[in-house]
Chain A
Amino acid sequence: MARTAKRNPVDTFFSIITGAASFSVVVLIIGILIVLISESSLSIGKFGIWRFLVSTDWDPVRESFGALTNIYGTVVTTMLSLVIAIPIAIGIAIFITEISPNFLKGPIGAAIELLAAIPSIIYGMWGLFTLSPIMSRYIEPFLQKVFGGLPLMGILFQGTPMGIDILTASVILSIMIIPFTASISRDAFNLTPEVVKESAYALGATKWEVVKNVVLPYSKLGVFGGIVLSLGRALGETMAVAFVLGNDHRITTSLLDAAATITVTLANEFAEADKDIYLSSLFYLALVLFVMSFVTLAIAKFFLLRAEKKYTR
């Protein structure tokens, strides 16, 4: 009893250093935010908030900057990569948890984790030298032939297939985020109580019916959280797309056109930004991305918390 009343000094010391470690993260984030705001203040003052966000102009020579083309590129590549990645990732997760024989679970799981461990610059170089020629020579002409003539869909596949475009960038991004979505979905699926699944099988449900009616409804919030986390990753990914997106500041409806994302613009233009307002506008772009990522992750956290509550109830 006496021991609990008077705390062990080692214990106190331990609490202090762990507390300091955790607190330093908060300080760091606030510090980054302050630096971003102060560095971009010149650009905020010149272009304002609304005008910067809706202007499509990006002209370093005439010192006129707007973020809309970058925001558009970021949103489109991220969304498209999710569209490609989610079905594949959920398929992987279902296979590992429900279908795969035990001896395959280990190797497949390890392969997926390995995919997550590849540095993004490797994806970038691979994209430039390998994927992009394949896209421009085979896949994009094929897509253009099949969908190019259709009304509405056709708009997405106009232009000369160069392999340096939104589609190629999105494919690389999707490969990068598949491991995240897959492993979080797998963990969520594993949370489904065995009893419920066994009962469904006992009632004569097929594997597909169990997945569709028992596992997926049980884990949908967890899966959704995983998707939003991958979205956060795709939003901020830089080197993998910097080589294959072309850094072209325009809004295009075709997936076969070059574009620019916020990160691609930063990676391409930061080193040689030679005017104050130019540099400040790049910081301003970074600030926009910071806010976008923050909001996304907040949403993810919200859904994950709700999911947890549901399971532990």
Chain B
Amino acid sequence: MKTLLKLLIAVALMMSFSHVEAAETLNGAGASFPYPVYSAWAFDYNKITGIQLNYQSIGSGGGIKQITSRTVQFGASDAPLTPEQLNKDGLLQFPAVMGGVVPVVTIPSVKEGQLRLDPDALCKIYLGDIKFWDDAKIKALNPQLSLPHGEIMVVHRSDGSGTTAIFTTYLGEVCPDWKNKVGAGTSVKWPVGIGGKGNEGVANYTKRTPNSIGYVEFAYAEQNRLAYALLKNSSGNFVKPSFDTFEDAAETGTFDPKKHFNLWLVNAPGKNAWPIAGATFILLAREKPDANRKVVKFYEWAFNNGDKKAKELVYVPLPKSLKDKIRAYWKANGIL
């Protein structure tokens, strides 16, 4: 009995020591889209500073809920909150990294980057108004291609996701019909098509179904070598999804610190801007400057040192002009 007691005391002591030694921890929760890059950054940051960053990818809805109830030090959301919402819940908001959405197709005889689509055609396909690939409208955009008379199989996400929110926001922006009939959100009432769960589900269906079209995250299209389509942007140029076109979108998008950067980065005005992009956001509780300073320190480190890592993981780093705006925003709120 005595030895047992001694053992217990020893264990308790060890645990209390390790507790004292345990590094500082930052807890965050939210969007699943940026999870890989946040955890890669956190790993490197931990090696340098010893500060541990726990990020739970529970979805944007959950992230907003948790920061609103103040159970985490920061929340993350793929959708920007409006200034009214932020004021109501006492939150700060800034973008951390960018991604985008890419339409991918599987059409026999059409290779990667060959098919050209304009906003109207994409919208009509997803509304079910254009039913065949050799529709006059698509043919006019692609005079050099011989498109088959195949029925278009539309693939969309079956689960709620930030990817869908960005994609439907874009369609709503460029196509009044879409805005009136369907609208934008993490999940919507799709007029046509079948649903795949996750990027992997959409990619899987699109890849194996002839004459199909789907939309996936840029990283997913890139890593799985899916045949993306070129899109006509607001300046009338056909652009392909790449780091450059995303950065151009971010440079020319009007992120406004006064509105807490509330912006859907769709249909950006840049000459070479990819039209369906979006930043993912960090949410902070206004009344907790001490915790916020620690979170901001991490993102400041990531802004300075994390671009390479982000690109490796096919995320689009924020352009310098936007980073400077965010730094000014932090200063203005007294947390840098």
Contact = CB atoms under 8 A, between A and B. Distances in A.
Interface of A: 58-62, 128-129, 133, 160, 162, 164, 242-243, 245-249, 258, 264, 267-274, 279
23 contacts: A60-B187, A61-B183, A61-B184, A62-B189, A160-B153, A162-B194, A162-B205, A162-B209, A246-B196, A247-B159, A248-B158, A248-B190, A267-B159, A268-B159, A268-B187, A268-B197, A269-B186, A271-B159, A272-B61, A272-B186, A272-B187, A273-B186, A274-B185
Given A243-B201, A248-B194, A274 B186 contact: yes
Interface residues of B, number: 34
B194 A164 contact: yes
B185 to A, nearest CB: 5
Nearest to B161: A272
A15 B184 CA distance: 58
A248 B189 CA distance: 9
A64 to B, nearest CB: 9
Given A129-B204, A279-B61, 5 more contacts: A61-B183, A160-B151, A160-B153, A245-B158, A274-B185
B10 interface: no
B190 to A, nearest CB: 8
Contact of B64 (A60, A164, A274): A274
By Cβ-Cβ distance, the 5 closest A-B pairs, closest first, are A271-B59, A272-B160, A61-B183, A247-B158, A268-B159
A160 B154 CA distance: 12
* Most chain A beta-carbon contacts within 10 A, residue among B58, B153, B158, B196: B158
A258 B194 contact: yes
Nearest to B158: A247
B160 to A, nearest CB: 3
B62 interface: yes
A154 to B, nearest CB: 20
B317 interface: no
A60 to B, nearest CB: 5
B60 interface: yes
Contact of A58 (B64, B189, B195, B209): B189
A59 B162 CA distance: 17
Interface string B9-43: 00000000000000000000000100000000000
Contacts of A62: 183, 189
Contact of A61 (B59, B62, B153, B188): B188
A241 to B, nearest CB: 10
Contacts of A271: 32, 58-59, 61-62, 159-160
Given A61-B184, A61-B189, A162-B194, A273 B61 contact: yes
Interface string B63-92: 010000000000000010000000000000
B160 A269 contact: yes
A269 B194 contact: no
B158 A246 contact: yes
Given A162-B205, A274-B79, A60 B197 contact: no
B143 to A, nearest CB: 29
B189 A249 contact: yes
A269 B164 CA distance: 12
A61 B64 contact: no
Contacts, number: 94
Contacts of B205: 162, 164
Given A61-B189, A243-B201, A274-B186, A268 B61 contact: no
Nearest to A243: B197
A115 B136 CA distance: 52
Contacts of B258: none
Contacts of A272: 59-61, 159-162, 165, 186-187
B195 A273 contact: no
A181 to B, nearest CB: 28
B145 interface: no
A61 B60 CA distance: 16
B185 A164 contact: no
A247 B188 CA distance: 11
Contacts of A245: 158
A274 B79 CA distance: 10
Contacts of A246: 158, 194-196
Contacts of A128: 197, 201, 204
A153 B182 CA distance: 34
Nearest to A242: B197
A36 B227 CA distance: 44
B182 A61 contact: yes
A291 to B, nearest CB: 25
Interface in B295-328: none
* Most chain B beta-carbon contacts within 10 A, residue among A60, A242, A258, A272: A272
* Most chain A beta-carbon contacts within 10 A, residue among B64, B79, B153, B186: B186
B195 A248 contact: yes
B303 to A, nearest CB: 27
Contacts of A274: 60-61, 64, 79, 160, 185-186
Contact of A59 (B189, B197, B208): B189
A264 B184 CA distance: 21
Contacts of A60: 160, 185-189
A269 B62 CA distance: 12
Contacts of A273: 61, 160, 186
Nearest to B64: A274
B157 to A, nearest CB: 9
A268 B160 contact: yes
A127 to B, nearest CB: 11
Contacts of A264: 158
A227 to B, nearest CB: 29
Contacts of B196: 164, 246
Contacts of B201: 128, 243
Contacts of B64: 274
